[in-house]
Chain A
Amino acid sequence: MYQSREKEILPEYWYNVVPDLPEQLSPPKDSKKDTSSIDMLNRILPKKLLEQEFSFKRREKIPEEVMELYHQIGRPTPLVRAINLEKKLGYSGKIYFKYEGATVTGSHKINTALPQAFYAANEGVQEVVTETGAGQWGTATALAASLNGMRSKVFMVRTSFNQKPLRKQIMEIYGAKVVPSPSIETEFGRKTLAERADHPGTLGIAISEAVEYALDKGFKYLLGSVMNSVITHQSIIGLETARQLEIEGEEADVMIGCVGGGSNFSGFVFPFISGKAEMIASTAEEVPKFTHGKFGYDYIDTAGLLPQLKMFSLGAGFVPPGIYAGGLRYHGAAPALSMLVHSGRIKAEDVGENEVLAAMRLFAGTQGIIPAPESGHAIASAIRYAKRDPQSRKNIIINVSGHGLLDLSIFSRGEK
């Protein structure tokens, strides 16, 4: 839908929410007395990315080279009216979904991997390093590195590494070296394995390993979520959505997305933050960061190599169960998103596995798309919303952050 008007839909600038927040974001915090983990970011992040991380600018120009890559990987992504789902639910309003699964890597993650890799390549970097949970971020990094002429290395959470061999294969086809985390390639990985040889891994541990590896080897580390700069890049989702709704002559009344670290949700809703749309962040019942987490400073990664951020967190040492939606296992959430949930501007709700699987089946059966299980949470929350008041005329907009074609095994596990 609207692909023929792509120049009209693709924005020239990303949007940074920081100047429009109701309160000031708390700065990152060091915890070690004699060194600065904030200063350490200079060694592992591309300079331009770090500049964007602490930027006050509301708008950030998308480089022409990145814009070209956005076209190549399938942007703008479609905004589709889910007419069949509306009918099935007997909902009187309209339901739209923004389909980030239409990118070549199958999720929103490529939106920030491309500019980050571009900035790293501009600095003459030969290799980039990152972590991945469910595999979408690793896939995006692998492709972005390849498109920018660099090698890539991905520390993949062990439980996903074992459950998703196809993800690993895709990353390798794009040229990445993929290792299960915890691994024996870093000091922190070896220490973790010494404590528990069958450790399933967490995103926090994988981040620590990737950062340690980047520091040791002098490579650049790419950020998958949580940080402001990532969310700024992901604002392309919301900016396109706003333009597509405008073309359609509609407005967003309710916006719903899923939250792991918070990048797809924040990128989707932040461009609408000054408006009146209701916003719902859908999280996994097994990782209830907003409903049971604490709002305060906590580490981004388990080893505490990176600075602490003020955010909702279940604790950097939290080891979630090996759930069906690997991308939602992260212990924390982006600071700006956490602030807006804390203030009540954004509502949060937890959704359990059975409800998510049912929502995914319903969505696949009505719209033909098998969503990623992470996105299944957003769809489940949207169905809940529509069922609560079927006579409502409100426009519900869902961000379907990725497809689930590599997650089909979850359907064979059977409902709990």
Chain B
Amino acid sequence: MKPRLIIYLTLGFPDNEFVEDFVQNIPDGIIDGFELGLPSSDPRYDGPKIRSTHGERNHFSQDHMGRVLQTCSDRKIRVNLLSYYSDIENEGGKNLQMLAGLSAHEMIVPDLLIDYAEVADAFISSLKASGISLIPFFNAATPDKVIKKYVNETDSWIYYGLQPSTGINVPVNIPEVVERAKSVIHERDIIFGFGIRNGGDAAEIIRAGGHGIAIGSAIVDDLAKHDERAAILKISEYREAIDSAV
């Protein structure tokens, strides 16, 4: 099976027009989906690169999100959204109502199972009622029984973080991490992200049995410079790395 490559973009960064052009211009077949982050006031599990995309340099608007999702829908590019639960809670669920009307049907909420575990079951139910599936986010610190519980309560693919936050590099034994994830999660695709430094890491994940990778920090500098060509070139290199690892 062809490994999946998912590209993370923070909506509104570096500006709305660039993001809209980017999703329009990315060549067919190079990626398998976009992960679109809603700008957060507290992107607590993100490293410095992604954090820089959430701050004052962000120009997000709801119309912008609608246009991006429409383009992805027209181009048949799969999309999932990412929002921190702390933001959803702060906005009293308004975001959730807004998302229910959009064409994205999968969502990552990275802090939900960690800092808001007490409301996670109810939130997953309300997402389902809005036609949205939660993509569970796990990492090395997720206890086995927590993984099993939320694998049972959801039906989407799984996002597994290699690192404690994005774009940082504490020592990780990739084959061991993949093996651990696969030993607890069965019959679901596992996409690995958080701290994939280069094509070598990406290939190692696929060789170890991962179903795909998600990258974001790797292209932030190119996006910040409005350099679409450089970003697409980098994405192509990751594509080649994971395809050749199969």
A: residues with CB less than 8 A from B are: 18-30, 32-36, 38-39, 41-42, 47-48, 50-51, 53-57, 310
* Contact status B55-A33, CB under 8 Å: yes
Tell me which residues across on chain A come within 8 A of B168, comparing CB atoms.
Answer: 36, 38-39
Name the residue of chain B whose CB is nearest to the CB of A29.
B44
**Cβ proximity bits B137-175 to A, threshold 8 Å, 1 near / 0 not:** 011111111100000000000000001110111111100
* Chain A positions within 8 Å of B55 at CB level: 33
Q: Which residues of B contact A26 (CB under 8 A)?
A: 114-115
B233 near A: Cβ within 8 Å?
A: no
Chain B residue at smallest Cβ distance from A335: B141
B52 adjacent to A33 (CB under 8 Å):
yes
A27, B141: Cβ atoms under 8 Å? yes
Which residues on the B side are within 8 Å of A57 (C-beta)? 176, 180
**Are the C-beta atoms of A24 and B172 separated by less than 8 Å?**
no
Question: Could you say which residues of chain A place their CB within 8 Å of the CB of B51?
Answer: 30, 33
* B45 pairs with A20, CB closer than 8 A: no
Interface size for B (C-beta < 8 A) is: 33
User: In the complex, how many angstroms separate the beta carbon of A223 from the nearest chain B beta carbon?
Assistant: 14
Whether B141 lies near A35 (C-beta < 8 A) is no
A41, B48: Cβ atoms under 8 Å? no
Cα of A48 to Cα of B168 in the assembled complex, Å: 16
Q: B47 on the interface (CB 8 Å rule)?
A: yes
Answer whether A21 and B114 are a contact pair too, CB < 8 Å, given A50-B170, A56-B180: no
Contacts of A32 in B (CB 8 A): 48
Contacts A50-B170, A51-B170 given: A27-B52 contact, CB under 8 Å?
Answer: no
Are A54 and B170 also in contact (CB < 8 A) when A18-B143, A24-B143 are? yes
Residue pair A24, B170 in contact (C-beta under 8 Å)? no
- Tell me whether B114 and A27 are in contact (CB under 8 A): yes
Nearest CB on A from B237, distance (A): 23
Chain A binding surface SS class = loop
What CA separation (Å) do A20 and B142 show in the bound complex? 9
- Point out the residues of chain B lying under 8 angstroms from A34, CB to CB: 48, 52
Contact of A51 among B45, B144, B172 (CB under 8 A): B172
Q: Do A27 and B170 touch across chains, with their CB atoms under 8 A apart?
A: no
| Bound CA–CA A113/B139 (angstroms) | 28
Task: Tell me the nearest residue of chain A to B144, going by C-beta.
Answer: A19
Q: Does B223 sit at the interface, judged by CB under 8 A?
A: no
Give the Cβ gap from A228 to chain B, nearest Cβ, in Å: 9
Chain B residues with a Cβ under 8 A of chain A: 44-45, 47-48, 51-52, 55, 113-115, 117, 138-146, 163-165, 167-173, 176-177, 180
6 closest A-B pairs by beta carbon, nearest first, are A27-B164, A56-B140, A39-B168, A51-B171, A25-B141, A24-B142
20 contacts between A and B (CB under 8 A): A20-B143, A23-B114, A24-B117, A27-B45, A27-B164, A28-B164, A29-B44, A30-B48, A33-B48, A34-B48, A34-B52, A36-B48, A36-B167, A38-B168, A39-B47, A42-B169, A50-B171, A54-B170, A56-B141, A56-B177
| Interface SS majority for chain B | loop
- A47-B117 in contact given A24-B142, A34-B52, A55-B140 (Cβ < 8 Å): no
Determine whether the beta carbon of A47 is less than 8 Å from that of B171: yes
Partner of A27, one of B146, B165, B169, B172: B165
- The answer to whether B167 touches A54, judged by C-beta atoms less than 8 angstroms apart, is no
- CB contact under 8 A between A53 and B45, given known A23-B117, A24-B114, A30-B165: no
B180 x A24 contact (CB < 8 A): no
CA distance A53 to B164 in the complex (A): 10
Q: Which residue of A lies closest to B138 (CB)?
A: A24
Q: Would A42 and B170 count as touching, CB distance under 8 A?
A: yes
**In the complex, A54 Cα to B176 Cα: how many Å?**
13
Could you say which residues of chain A place their CB within 8 Å of the CB of B140? Answer: 18, 54-56
Q: Which of A22, A34, A38 has the most CB of B within 10 A?
A: A38
Measured CB to CB, the closest approach of chain A to B181, in angstroms, equals: 9
Given the contacts A30-B48, A30-B165, A41 and B170 also touching, CB distance less than 8 Å: yes
Q: What residues of A have a CB within 8 angstroms of the CB of B143 in the complex?
A: 18-24
Q: How far is the CA of A47 from the CA of B171 in the complex (A)?
A: 7
Q: Are B173 and A38 in contact (CB under 8 A)?
A: no
> Once the chains are docked, how many angstroms separate the CA of A26 from the CA of B115?
7
Residue of A nearest to B180 (CB): A56
Q: Is the CB of B146 within 8 A of A39?
A: no
Q: How far is the CA of A275 from the CA of B168 in the complex (A)?
A: 36
| Cβ–Cβ < 8 Å partners of A36 in chain B | 47-48, 165, 167-168
Q: How far is the CA of A310 from the CA of B115 in the complex (A)?
A: 10
**Contact: A54 with B141, CB < 8 Å?**
yes
Compute how far the CA of A20 lies from the CA of B145 in the bound complex, rounded to whole angstroms: 8
Output the nearest chain B residue to A25 by Cβ-Cβ distance: B141
Assess A38 versus B144: contact at CB under 8 Å? Given A24-B114, A27-B139, A54-B164.
no
CB distance from A185 to the nearest CB of B (A): 28
B150 to chain A, nearest CB (A): 10
Cβ of A383 to closest chain B Cβ, rounded Å: 35
- For A41, list chain B residues within 8 Å (CB): 170
11 additional contacts (CB under 8 A) given A19-B143, A22-B145, A47-B171? A21-B143, A24-B142, A29-B165, A32-B48, A38-B164, A38-B165, A38-B170, A50-B170, A51-B172, A54-B164, A55-B140
B154, chain A: closest CB distance, angstroms: 15
Contact call A53/B170, Cβ cutoff below 8 A: yes
Expressed in whole angstroms, the Cα–Cα distance for A56 and B146 within the complex equals 13
A51→B173 contact, CB < 8 A: yes
